[in-house]
Amino acid sequence: MDLVGGGSVRDLLDEHGPLPVGYAAALLEQLLSALAAVHAAGLVHRDVKPANLLLQPTVDQPPHLRLGDFGVAAPIADARYTTVPGAIGTEGYMAPEQARGAPPDPSRDLYSVGRVGLQLITGLTPERRGAIGSGPLRPLLERLLVVDPEQRLATADAALRLLRRLDIAFEDGPQVTDRLGAQPSAEPDWAARAVLAACASVVALCVAVVVGVLL
């Protein structure tokens, strides 16, 4: 996968606390767009959380989020799925039915988006979370955090449409800097190659001497 140098949304929250609502809304829009593509490909991510939301270094530009870590992603369940051996995901971000071992379904990811959204604007981890509270993102979060999956927003596209209808203006927030620094040059390291060539020559010479002695 690509190397993403700006850290994760979890790093951002750990260092800066609650994010401005307009900044959080921009992150959620990008996350929902990513999940719409994932679900359209027939997969459920199953572990949407701040640590798996990577950030490109953008400095003074709006944040650029990338959804990562598909280690527990699975095909969307169909009628052939009957049971799943236990819960797969991260406690606190999983939908209630996912925690009970329900089969993969896009609505499980959407519940996780709601948990992430709440954390973005409160700075509180799931174990410390409280009520949604009032605010511009409340209509979206209420529809994502419904306990009954039948009443929850059914698709990432539907959630994206609702978020855009809220028309939340972007707000400046923390700058995302490059945490990795300069990357190794793609140019050939001629000094290293010269050393390797010299070592190979010595080895070849030793082999020739040994062979000569044995003969």
Is 209 in a helix, a strand, or coil?
helix
d(CA 70, CA 47): 8
User: Which string of b and e fits 166-205 if b means at least 16 CB within 10 Å?
Assistant: eebeeeebbebeeeeeeeeeeeeeeeeeeeeeeeeeeeee
In the chain, the amino acid numbered 34 is A
47 is catalytic: yes
State the catalytic residue, choosing from 2, 14, 47, 109: 47
The partner residues of 75 in beta bridges, in order of sequence, read 43
Catalytic residues: 47
